[in-house]
Amino acid sequence: MEQTIIYLDNNATTPLHEDVIAAMNRANELYGNASSMHAMGREAMEAIEESRQAVRDLIDAPEGSIVFTSGASEANNTVFNLFRERIDLGSKRNRIVTTTIEHPSIIEMVAHLRELGYTIDLCPVDHTGRVVMEEMEKLMGDDVALVSVMLGNNEIGTIQPVKEIALLAHHHGAYVHTDATQAIGKIPVSMEELGVDYLSLSAHKFYGPKGIGVLAIRKGVPFAPFFHGGHQEGGKRAGTYNNTAIVGMGVAARIAREELEEESARLWKLREMLREGIEASIPNVVVNGSRDYCLPGTLDVSFPRAEGESILLYLDLEGIMVSTGSACASGSLEPSYVLLASGVDIELAHGSIRFSFGRYNTEDEVHYVLEKLPPIIKRLREMSIR
Amino acid sequence: MSNFMAQWVYSPVVKDHFMNPRNTWSEEEHFEADGVGEVGSLACGDQMQVLIKVENDRVADLRWLTYGCASAIASTSMMSELAIGMTLEEAYFLSPERITEALGGLPEHKFHCSVLGDKALRAAIDDYLKKNGKPNPWQSQVAKVICECKQVTDIQVEELVKSKEATTLEELEKLTGYGTVCGKCKPQMALLFDQLQHLYHV
């Protein structure tokens, strides 16, 4: 019997697009080291430069800004590390400002740097997960080196006013970084329009391969490599080019750009269909995040009196794959810091489920979820303390 | 994809008890309980209630309710199967290790936070003995959990205070992590800490 598989965890990662697979299979033949001068090397470099242009077009980035990395985590770490170096070298701008709901690659970096004695301020967010601009203004000053704010949140989908934050930060002489990983392919992302100095992204969130991403760096802004070694990427990031992955990302970037408008509308339609269906069929649910500023494919819902890991695993038994903010699924004892930072009650955080849609999801799948989910919640609530 | 469901996150026994929990208390059932015990809190992500019927100093029947993860549901279900028929004394000393063993094992981090059924059962027996004015010879022999989120017991705190490893509440928090999740236990822990300080160091 064919096992039903409904993959609603596209914010965690996405499957490869069939065109990406085909291009990567061809690119496996490009075994030349792209740094070599000979024909094999030049052939590989040509493919890499084509991908670089595709990514540049996707995010409307300035010329010469695209640096390939192993993903967004490396890109984020690179940015924080380079400002840490400037602080070490005695820069009078020795404070970093970011938010309470960033990706772990920033949250954990912040914790690490704080332990080492660096000053890092976290701007709070409102109950929808959006940065409170008045608080951000209060955190500005002529000692701020870097302001880093993610464009779209991975868990609740809230979109941040990055353009306004960049204007504000630049006014105070600070540099600005955005982690745009979750926003790519879902909403228009223009580095020029946002006005940021650094932008991180990762290919596997938009149907490209895992282990490859980009740090876009505006010309003239501070930079220091995180990886030292060869002279790849103009000395900005050492390490032999991963030809196959870079080609895959290029194709994914081209498709994401071409299909953005249509895809964005489709994801929002599926998301809203599921939200309305859940609200109509299950009493007492809380939709987390922002209604007005939300990534189109993300729906985060709390089910009071039903615990997240149990919901996730009952859905898993029905072939439906989601994620949860519950502590029980995190390996730690604390539930989602994103929800807690947004002022969501701790009990609601334990019972939160994230449904994240992608290009391969269908309306039929939403109907299937709406058939399976209500009895699961009912059952767990009946078993729960009354 | 043929082996897709072969490797589940928990053991086959846990899966079975999670999918078909035994002895849950359905809303329709009128269950005349002789003792009721409740432990955990919604804020720590696990809360459970155990109801027992006692006949001839044995657990004649048992019902339970749980708000919690898959391993909390499965371990409470397994506890109910083990406990029914036991003498009150056996039931009082039913250990989380025994429940976990019967489940075919649990991941380490799950063992500490989700196996609460034995504690709820003990609380139900305490309740039964108290209601019936019977002596409780076992209560003092068992460590009492003060912080449910981090599973910090009174015995553990006593040792830390006695050895002067924890001379302030802050040090105690650093050593045990008590009160760092839901915070519900803080007043009780402060009281216990003061009493122990007084007992050993004043």
The residue extents of the domains of chain A are 18-258, 260-383
ipTM, 2 dp: 0.88
Closest to A322 (Cα-Cα) out of A343, A350, A301, A293 = A301
Q: Is residue B170 located within the same domain as residue B134?
A: no
CATH code at A260-383: 3.90.1150.10
DSSP letter for each residue of A172-194 = TT-EEEEE-TTTTTTS---HHHH
**B67–A5: do the CB atoms touch at under 8 Å?**
no
Q: Is residue B153 located within the same domain as residue B67?
A: no
Q: Which of A317, A331, A384 sits opposite B67 (nearest CB)?
A: A384
Q: Which residue is closest to A347 within chain B, CA to CA?
A: B43
pLDDT at B9: 85
Q: Is residue B119 located within the same domain as residue B150?
A: no
Domain end point (choices B127, B142, B157): B142
Q: Are B181 and A333 in contact (CB under 8 A)?
A: yes
| Total structural domains within chain B | 2
Q: Judge whether B44 counts as a catalytic residue.
A: yes
**B114–A382: do the CB atoms touch at under 8 Å?**
no
Structural class in CATH, domain A18-258: alpha beta
**B69–A335: do the CB atoms touch at under 8 Å?**
no
* Range of the structural domain that residue B59 is part of: 1-142
In this predicted model, what pLDDT tens digit does every residue of A54-86 receive, in sequence order?
999 999 999 999 999 999 999 999 999 999 999
Q: Is residue B47 located within the same domain as residue B90?
A: yes
Task: Tell me which of A328, A340, A341, A370 is the catalytic residue.
Answer: A328
How far does A147 lie from chain B, in Å, by closest CA? 29
Using CB atoms within 10 A of its CB, is residue A75 exposed (0-12), middle (13-18) or buried (19+)?
buried
Q: Is residue B187 located within the same domain as residue B164?
A: yes
Q: Is residue B26 located within the same domain as residue B79?
A: yes
Per CB distance under 8 Å, which residues of B are interface residues toward A? 1, 4-5, 9, 18-19, 21, 24, 26-27, 38, 42-49, 65-73, 109-110, 113-114, 149-150, 181-182
Which residues of chain B are modeled with pLDDT < 50? 1-3
CA–CA gap between residue A151 and residue A157 (Å, rounded): 9
Q: Which of B45, B49, B182 sits opposite A328 (nearest CB)?
A: B45
Task: Kindly list the residues from chain B whose CB atom is less than 8 angstroms away from the CB atom of residue A305.
Answer: 67
| Distance of alpha carbon A2 from the chain centroid | 32
Interface test with A, best of B8, B29, B46, B69 (most A CBs within 10 A): B69
Q: Are A127 and A288 in contact (CB under 8 A)?
A: no
What 3-state DSSP class applies to A219?
A: coil
Task: Kindly list the residues from chain B whose CB atom is less than 8 angstroms away from the CB atom of residue A310.
Answer: 18, 68-70, 73
pLDDT at B4: 53
- Torsion angle of alpha carbons B167, B170, B174, B175, nearest 10°? 30
How far does A77 lie from chain B, in Å, by closest CA? 28
Task: Kindly list the residues from chain B whose CB atom is less than 8 angstroms away from the CB atom of residue A383.
Answer: 21, 24, 65-67, 73
How far does A369 lie from chain B, in Å, by closest CA? 18
Reduce the secondary structure of A337-383 to three states and give it as a string. HHHHHCCCCHHHHHCEEEEECCCCCCHHHHHHHHHHHHHHHHHHHHH
Q: Is residue B51 located within the same domain as residue B102?
A: yes
Q: Judge whether A123 counts as a catalytic residue.
A: no
Q: Which residue is closest to A327 within chain B, CA to CA?
A: B45
Q: Which residue has the tokens 């490893």?
A: B165
How far does B202 lie from chain A, in Å, by closest CA? 35
Task: Kindly list the residues from chain A whose CB atom is less than 8 angstroms away from the CB atom of residue B49.
Answer: 385
Query: What's the CATH number where B154 sits?
Result: 1.10.10.1100
CA–CA gap between residue A266 and residue A269 (Å, rounded): 5
- In A135-212, at which residue ranges do the beta strands (DSSP E only) sit? 144-148, 175-179, 198-202
Task: Kindly list the residues from chain A whose CB atom is less than 8 angstroms away from the CB atom of residue B21.
Answer: 383
Paired with B63 in beta bridges are B51
Q: Is residue B105 located within the same domain as residue B39?
A: yes
Q: Are B36 and B50 in contact (CB under 8 A)?
A: yes
Interface test with A, best of B5, B49, B67, B178 (most A CBs within 10 A): B67
Q: Is residue B93 located within the same domain as residue B155?
A: no
pLDDT along chain A (386 residues), means of 10: 87 98 96 93 96 98 98 98 98 97 96 97 98 98 98 97 98 98 98 98 98 98 95 93 98 98 98 98 98 97 95 96 84 82 92 97 98 98 92
Query: What's the CATH number where B38 sits?
Result: 3.90.1010.10
Q: Is residue B97 located within the same domain as residue B2?
A: yes
pLDDT at B2: 41
Residue-averaged pLDDT of chain A: 96
